[in-house]
Amino acid sequence: MQKSISEPIHNITSIAQTISEEADYSIRIDSNSNDEIGILSLQFNEMLQKIEERETERDNAEHALLESERQLRNIVELEKSKSSELEISYRNLHEAQYATQKMLHDLKVEIKKRTKAEKKLSDHKLKLEETISQRTKSLQTETEKLTESQNAMLDLIDEKEESRLNIERANKLLLEANKELEAFSYSVSHDLRAPIRAIEGFTKKLLKEIGESSTDEEKRLANIITANTLKMGLLIDDLLTFSRMNRGELNKIKIDLNTIVKEVWDNLLLEYQNSSVKLTINKLPRADCDSRLVKQVWINLLSNAVKFSQHETSPEVIVGYEIIDGKTAFFVKDNGVGFNMKYSDKLFQVFQRLHTDAEFEGTGIGLAIVDRIVKRHGGRVWCSSRENIETTFYFTLT
Amino acid sequence: MDVNDIEIVLVEDNPNDAELAVDALTSKNLANRIKILKDGEEALDFFFGNENEGGSKIAVKPKLILLDLKLPKIGGLEVLQKLKSSKETKDIPVVVLTSSREHTDLITSYDYGVNSYIVKPVDFNQFMNAISEVGLYWMLLNEPPK
């Protein structure tokens, strides 16, 4: 019996210990006895049932509490997050405000800067305008000056045109004068010769008419008339040559002067067949000249040389050239009578003679012709003479 | 004298020169049939007839024309040109006898077809010789086209 009582109680105690340790209220005591232990167990079990029920209730309440707490927390979290969002927006707003302010500030600074720049620009513009105005002014002055000089130039052109017209007029007059001169020399050649021939011819006819009966004095007078007509004829011929040398184009070509001098000399010797005159020709350079005109120069100078040295015992003529002042100066030298140098300026004038016809015949035109020809070539003629010793005529063709 | 018998026509305005020329030709017995005309107009009228008088043309064919160049009214060069460009007269020998030695006169004369150009010598004797020689040459030596 002891054992039958202590064992169930121990059992109950162990269960109670387990429940207490494990808080498991679902455990029940297994007892089928109708004794006190059974009742105790039953009542224990009932208590356990009630505890379990309460536990469940508590659990449920706790659960509900937890749930509501969780919900609350959610709400709070939500609120919190909302507030954070708000905070962020606020911060953003603030930032935006700040940015706006900054922008405004920047804008202000910019505006200030711009205003300053604008002012500077405007100042610059003003300055520029002034510069432009100054420039325009100086440009205007320049333009005025230019216009002035242009006008001056136009005037100059006008003047030039006028002088050109003047030259043209002068040229025309010159051409007319030349034509007149041509007509004049034609008249001279034709009209002056005829009366001379008539004088001579009819003088001879008169002598013939008188026939045998004519006296010596009559013959002498007739001879004087004839000689003078002859002289007149020569004068006319020389004058014509002189005027012809002034006219016409210069036909310049390179020619061999040695040939020309030789030709002229040979022709001259036909006239002076009795002369013992000796000619020395030094080699001459070629010359750029009008051969027809320059031949006339040599004819006149060489015939003068022979003429004025013909009475010498051993007449001598030398032809050559020297370089004088960088130019080729041709010369004709003779050992004839020569002339006093104080009359040398008269030599080259028409009809000027330093000797009488009785001494030396001549028309006084030969050297004037020489002068004209060398001048037309752009050269000059000059002379030096020591009477009865040596006379030299020089000429250049450039 | 019938115009058809005329052998020499001398166109010369200077009567003295004309007389001397006739003297020179007479000395060679060439002056029997000579006609002297005093200017260019007379010369053209003689060969081509006077326009005012109907311009009747006479077929004159002398053996020689001696022509001065400087003539009154119509110049010798113009007469020469007309003579040498006309079919009827171009065969007649024309000798220019002038005092002019001008280059242009020479060139123009030959250009127009002159047969000879003689510059009258200034010297009287040379003048007489020149005329008589010209007369002899053209009247006796020269053979004209038939």
Element (H, E) at A112: helix A36-187
The answer, yes or no, to whether residue B54 has pLDDT greater than 60, is no
pTM for this predicted structure: 0.50
Residues with pLDDT less than 50, chain A = none
Using CB atoms, pick whichever of B23, B100, B123 lies closest to residue A190. B100
C-alpha Rg value of chain B to the nearest Å: 14
**3-class secondary structure, A384:** strand
ipTM computed for the complex: 0.71
Chain A within 8 Å of B127 (Cβ-Cβ)?
yes
- For residue B21, the chain A residue with the least C-alpha distance is A201
CB-CB contact of A197 with A186 (8 Å): no
Comparing CA positions, the residue from B142, B123, B145, B122 lying closest to residue B133 is: B142
| Whole-number percent of chain B with pLDDT over 90 | 58
- For residue B105, the chain A residue with the least C-alpha distance is A186
- Write down the domain spans for chain A: 249-398
**3-class secondary structure, A167:** helix
Alpha-carbon gap, residue A193 to A233, rounded angstroms: 7
Chain A within 8 Å of B20 (Cβ-Cβ)?
yes
Whether residue A201 and residue B128 make contact (CB cut-off 8 A), yes or no, is yes
Q: B67, B69, B101: best mutation site toward chain A, by most A Cβ within 10 Å?
A: B101
The answer, yes or no, to whether residue B143 has pLDDT greater than 60, is yes
The answer, yes or no, to whether residue B53 has pLDDT greater than 70, is no
The answer, yes or no, to whether residue B115 has pLDDT greater than 90, is yes
A35 vs B114, higher pLDDT = B114
Residue A245's contacts (CB-CB under 8 Å, 6 or more residues apart) are A293, A296, A369, A372, A373, A376
Beta carbon pairs, A and B, within 8 Å: 56
Instruction: In chain B, count H helices and then E strands.
Output: 5, 5
- Residue found by looking up tokens 């001397």 in the block: B20
**Would you state the structure tokens that stand for residue A42, as one six-digit string?**
């039953």
Whether residue A230 and residue B69 make contact (CB cut-off 8 A), yes or no, is no
**Would you state the structure tokens that stand for residue A212, as one six-digit string?**
């045998």
The answer, yes or no, to whether residue B55 has pLDDT greater than 60, is no
Using CB atoms, pick whichever of A186, A198, A230 lies closest to residue B17. A198
Residues of B in contact with A226 (CB under 8 A): 124
Q: Dihedral, CA atoms, A363, B14, B103, B106, nearest 10 degrees?
A: -140
Whether residue B122 and residue A240 make contact (CB cut-off 8 A), yes or no, is no
Is the domain spanning A249-398 CATH 3.30.565.10? The answer is: yes
Structural domains of chain B in order of their starting residue, each with its CATH number: 3-139 (3.40.50.2300)
Using CB atoms, pick whichever of A189, A204, A236 lies closest to residue B124. A204
pLDDT of the residue at A15: 81
Whether residue A205 and residue B23 make contact (CB cut-off 8 A), yes or no, is yes
Using CB atoms, pick whichever of B98, B100, B122 lies closest to residue A197. B122
